[in-house]
Amino acid sequence: MPVCQLHGAAVTTVEGIGSTKTRLHPVQERIAKAHGSQCGFCTPGMVMSIYTLLRNKPQPTMEEIRETLGVKCLLCLVSQGQTETSGKEKLLPLDPTQELIFPPELIRMAELEERATQTFRGERMTWISPISLDELLQLKSQHPQAPVVMGNTNLGLDIKFKGVVHPIIISGFRVRELFEVTEKPEGVCIGAGSSLSTVRSVLEKCVCSLPAEHTQTLAALLEQLSHVAGEQIRNVATLGGNVASAYPNSDLNPVLAAGRCSVVLQSREGKREVPLDKDFFVGFGKTVLKPDEIVLSVFIPVSRKGEVVRAFRHAPRKENALATVNAGLRVWFEEGSNVVKEMSVYYGGVGPCTVSAERTVQQVIGRPWNEATLSDAYRALVDEVTLGASAPGGKVMFRRSLTLSLLFRFYLHVLQHLKDTVRPPSNVCEGEIPSEQLSAVERLPNIIQPSYHEFQDVPSGQSEQDPVGRAVQHQAALSHATGEAVYCDDFPRTQGELFLSVVTSARAHARITHIDVSRALSMPGVVDVFTADDIPGKKFRSFTGIDEEILAQGEVTCVGQMVCAVVADTKPHAKLASAAVKVHYEDLPDRIFTVEVGGQSGSGGEIQRGDVTKAFQEADHIYEGEIRLGGQEHFYMETQSMLVIPLGEEKEMKVYASTQHPTMVQEAVAETLGIPSSRVSCHVKRIGGAFGGKLSKTSILASITALAAWRSERPVRCVLDRGEDMLITGARHPVLGKYKVGFMSDGRITAADVRYYANAGHTPDDSVLVIEKILLHMDNAYNILNLRGQSAACKTNLPSNTAFRGFGVPQTPWLHCGCASSCLTKNLYKETSLTHYKMEFDPEVLLRCWEECKERSELDRRRLDVARFNQQNRWKKRGIALIPLKYGVGFAEGFLNQAAALVHIYKDGSVLVSHGGTEMGQGIHTKVQQVASRELDVPLSMIHISETSTSSVPNTCPSAASIGTDVNGMAVKDACQTLYKSLEPIRKQDPNGTWQSWVAKAFLERISLSATGFYRGHDLYMDWVKQEGRPYAYFTYSACCSEVELDCLTGEYRTVRTDLVADIGRSINPAIDIGQIEGAFMQGLGLYTMEELKFSPSGVLYTRGPGQYKIPAVCDVPLQFNVYLLSGSHNPHAIYSSKGVGEPTVFLGCSVFFALKEAVAAARSDAGLSGPFTLHSPATPERACIACGTRFTQMIPETETAQPWALELP
């Protein structure tokens, strides 16, 4: 929303509806007490979405709530409002009389202010807001190239992401004629400035008031409007903007065109009404509008008797995603017959603009509506609507098959309509629609079912004050909900502060011949431009013993590699100047993007047990295959952010960073500047999500930012835009897995040989450690006595891939691809065993998880239900899969399993705890508070954690590998026990005293009220030469059963139900742990079924934001999601018998993948396709649909051999 457009408006933010200092709003209180936040970065948005809904509809339905939140992206899933607190605590009531009112002074200002044109001038553009249509048309005549802006949903993106500059922008926001709505007997005329939400309301009213036969087009538009973007976008995006922008994926334009709609265009010369048909859209973003014309209104006619209109769309995510292909289709029958009189078929997403299938329509007009007619239409459509192999957007075969599938779906809809509306139907309908075909017109299930969370019981006899094991609210939940939580970029701007912007490589492999910074240095506000030559200390960082350049020196090896940096007084100035830096290149040969092209070479490892060769010779059956697992963007809500402040003496630097590893940042800055680490302090208040992505690259960015502060002697801030972040920081490693499995006829696996090839990117980063962990987890929960694994980290000319939640384990589900589920069950670890690296463990808890999940999910009964469903339905199929997990917790590098803490008790009895872990949403601060509360025997309210700082706790280890609470909790426990013991003489002297009196007395008696704590973790190791070790402190176990329903015509699916049983030992905080389990599962669901990183053939990342890269949203959560914490599990290797919880269940997202594969197999059987098949990950709708092998996908001819639009990774 442009600020200029808000002149005279009242803006309510999350801070305005409630505060911890004054009074909470009921929405804020509920989301906090229902454990509805983790990192908290997106919580204010959740709060305001629900607040807005309640202001508009005080008694919303569950469907309205779901729709409001349905487009919110999820990485850390929040609990679904099922909480113990709701029945035990009094919650604030929702009282509409206490809500904010519109400021009376703004009403008076609007009444008294003279209505006149408003003009706002900036450095590069002028905003003009006229008040009359005549004035608007005059401005458009004077400035024909100036865009007319309403919702700014298109133009704003062009300005922000494409660098488009318009010297003059004209706003039609105050022109009343653009918002007029007129209802006529022949249809409804809607002003072009009407928001899509307004259009939706108008159409709903018309549908309710008109006879059903007149509402076909209106209802079809309503169907599409419910899927266009999200509620916030629909509230500002306009009908006229949608038409005039002529976007090829527009959901409305195909329906408007098919529905005989028209637009009224106006200029100073007059009005003209133009049909919205094939001649209106003339190219990408182009229409017949003249430069001085505007869209005044859109006319939507009522449908005629015998006319049927439908709208369809398919998108990569269920909601808030641009359509891959959409369609508007209309047919009009001769009265009393099924002979087609008129027909229109329009598609979006298969050309540069909305496409009309005219030749296909001609095959139908004048003929009866039956399968023979439509069969001819399908053949004509294949020839008419084509896409080249290099078509923008890719997915060529899929998109073409969708045009056929949607036409088939329309055919069945019309048959059903004729049967239901025409009497007698026998005169019109040629036979009944087979019942199994009806699934093509039925929607996927979308009704949310009650979900269940099962906590563990607190031991009987535990003190009420002891919070361990209880569902304690997140330490910062109220701050999250009120917007008071401070993140790195929330720190106020300091005097003289500068902003840094990096310049990145535009080539994948090239020699830098010259960097021209002259133009950038001459631009307003620019203070400095520097390169690697200006670094006074080390010019590289070392990760896993291998160097990585901070800024490129002489050569670039991927698109997105940082080359130099620009420092300016503001962010816009820095961004403009960085774009003005000209880097001259000389391309180098042999660019490598995939592991296949790279010869699958690189650093790697191998591990083996048993005689694999002999076991294969003795096997009854051998199955070989491969699976490709795509990468995954971290997509933390808070992008890479840091602020570096030079302190002015002794070369001291203070760094505020959003990092998982403060010590790494501290050391990186010190080494880059050539100063001791003691002169640098790194501070982390909280992180808005990380998932492993704020380790290595954060230290490099902090080094660059610190250098800017060092050179300028002024504070410097660096906050990456989303696109920059995705381009620079890397992702989860794409992996190619090749496997060979030998098994006996009774299902016993006798041998397995697996090779993994990970796409490391252009530098090693953590790749070697990732492929090692892949090998250590390749057995998962299965006891395979003859097992061999090899792995390689392959260097390519793509951005370096890095640590990601799960750290290699999610890339290991190869075994499930090659074996039937019944076969796998026979091979679970059954008794105390050695892993393939000779670490002993007892699988008793693993088997309990398996059996309990099998029972809780009613697997046996539901398998029969799935088989019955698949038999009865041709175009919808179901699948169900049960997946076990054995996950090792800890760093195999033993020195990383340590932590320190510092605990202060102040004279008033309050306690300040500092430890080495960083709070990024996993609840470590909350759990550490619970530990301190138990050990000191004081209420949680007396314990405070302010930040993580290298000044308070030095030499911290990364908050990763799910051991943050394990090690830091133990360190805090150690410090608290020291303090509690030091107070023992005081307690004995005054046994009836209070905590405060004991502390006061201790101070008077000069007893230290400060203590350090330290925890020396387990001596973990892995000897790769001997192929044995103890790389993990312990294992955590889980099992997950998921059921999906698949639309075979589009590949779209719904997760109907998920049951997850997790062993987390004795939970310190079950509410936080369940949130972590759910969030990790959803991230895994995204990895295995949704998220795709797309690179151009020259190595440029296409997917640089939420528009192109889709992560799971609320609408993707299983309709029923049950989580059970296994009871009776103990763990002597971690604090209070708990277990790490943050990472393991990412892997269990593959239960959805394998359920989808089962559903695809059922579809293939119906299509006459038998035998094994390959389904790569992610199992996107494209892959699932093509794998189904329907007659529509089989009708699409092979595309010509040409360079594809995107690379196929790994």
DSSP 267-318: ETTEEEEEE-STTTEEETTEES--TT-EEEEEEEEPPPTTEEEEEEEE-SSS
Please give the Cα distance from 890 to 1033 (Å, whole number): 6
Distance from C-alpha of 1041 to C-alpha of 850, rounded to nearest angstrom: 10
Q: Is residue 614 helix, strand or coil?
A: helix
Please tell me whether 110 is known to bind a ligand: no
pLDDT of residue 431: 54
1028 is catalytic: no
Does 587 carry a binding-site annotation?
A: no
Burial of 278 (0-12, 13-18, 19+ CB in 10 A): middle
The answer on whether 961 is annotated among ligand-binding residues is yes
List, in order, residues 6 or more apart from 711 with CB less than 8 Å away: 528, 530, 534, 567
Tokens of residue 122, six digits: 């900036």
Phi, psi of 1123 (to 5 degrees): -125, 130
Q: How many CA atoms lie within 13 A of 795 on its CB side?
A: 13
Can you give the pLDDT at residue 86? 36
* Residue 1015 confidence (pLDDT): 98
Please tell me whether 151 is known to bind a ligand.
yes
Q: What φ, ψ does residue 224 adopt, rounded to 5°?
A: -70, -40
Only one residue has tokens 């030079």, namely 646
Model confidence pLDDT, tens digit, residues 636-663:
999 999 999 999 899 999 999 999 999 9
**Residue 1082 labeled ligand binder:** no
In angstroms, rounded to a whole number, what is the distance separating the alpha carbons of residues 1140 and 176?
60
| Contact (CB, 8 A) for 889 and 1035 | yes
Task: Fill in the DSSP letter of residue 1008.
Answer: -
Tokens of 1059: 């049951």
Residue 691 assigned ligand-binding role: yes
Q: Measured between alpha carbons, how far is 884 from 498 in angstroms, rounded to an integer?
A: 51
The answer to whether the annotation marks 158 as part of a ligand binding site is no
Place of tokens 């804020």: 28
Q: Cβ(292)–Cβ(140) under 8 Å?
A: yes
Tokens of 1019: 């001596």
Q: Please give the angle made by the CA atoms of 127, 128 and 129, to the nearest 5 degrees.
A: 120
Q: What would the DSSP string read from start to end of 760-798? A: EESS-TTHHHHHHHHHHTTTTTB--SSEEEEEEEEE-SS
Nearest alpha carbon to residue 836 among 763, 743, 774, 761:
774
3-class SS at 17? helix
Q: Tell me, what amino acid is at 711?
A: R
* pLDDT the model gives residue 820: 65
3-class secondary-structure state, position 404:
helix
Q: Please name every residue paired with 568 in a beta bridge, in sequence order, or none if there are none.
A: 499, 526
Q: Which residues pair with 339 in a beta bridge?
A: 368
CA dist., res. 56 & res. 65, Å (int): 12
Whether the bond between 1210 and the residue before it is cis, its omega within 30 degrees of 0, is: yes
Annotated ligand binding at 152? The verdict is: yes
**CA distances, 191 to each of 81, 229, 237, 369, 734 (Å):** 41, 20, 13, 37, 49
H or E element at residue 28: helix 26-33
Pick the closest to residue 527 from 493, 503, 498, 552 (CA basis): 498
Rg (CA), the chain: 31
Residues of the chain with pLDDT under 70: 70-91, 422-432, 598-603, 818, 820, 822
- Looking at the DSSP bridge assignments, the partners of residue 502 are 565
Q: Is 149 annotated as a binding residue?
A: yes
Going along the chain from its start, the domains and CATH numbers come out as 3-107 (1.10.150.120), 122-171 (3.30.43.10), 180-440 (3.30.465.10), 496-591+634-728 (3.30.365.10), 592-632+730-827 (3.30.365.10), 898-1017 (3.30.365.10)
With beta carbons less than 8 A apart as the criterion, state whether 497 and 715 touch.
yes
d(CA 327, CA 314): 9
- Report the alpha-carbon distance of residue 1078 to residue 1061 in Å, rounded: 11
Compute the CA torsion angle 833, 835, 838, 842 (nearest 10 deg). Answer: -40
The answer to whether the annotation marks 249 as part of a ligand binding site is: no
> In 3D, which of 321, 263, 267, 322 has the Cα closest to residue 297?
263
pLDDT at 834: 97
Convert the pLDDT of each residue in 1011-1048 to its tens digit: 999 999 999 999 999 999 999 999 999 999 999 999 99
Long-range contacts of 138-141 (CB under 8 A, 24+ apart): 138/268, 139/170, 140/170, 140/267, 140/268, 140/292, 140/293, 140/294, 141/267, 141/268, 141/292
User: Six-digit token pair at 356?
Assistant: 């009309």
Which residue among the candidates 935, 1091, 1143, 1158 is catalytic per the annotation? Answer: 1143
Instruction: Tell me if 409 sits within 8 A of 328, measured CB to CB.
Output: no
82 is in an annotated binding site: no
* Partners of residue 736 on adjacent β-strands: 628, 757
498, 569, 647, 714 from 495: Cα distances, Å: 9, 11, 13, 8
Q: Is 511 annotated as a binding residue?
A: no
- Is 807 annotated in a binding site? The answer is yes
Separation in Å, CA 1188 to CA 399, 870, 1161, 1164: 15, 13, 7, 5
Cα–Cα distance measured from residue 1024 to residue 1020, given in angstroms and rounded to the nearest whole number: 13
Q: Which spans in 802-912 are helix H?
A: 814-818, 821-825, 844-856, 859-872
SS3 content of the chain, % helix, strand, coil (to 5): 35, 25, 45
Identity (one letter) of the amino acid at 331? V
Tokens 């917007």 belong to which residue? 483
The Cα 718–Cα 571 span in angstroms is 9
Cβ-contact 1152, 1044 below 8 angstroms: yes
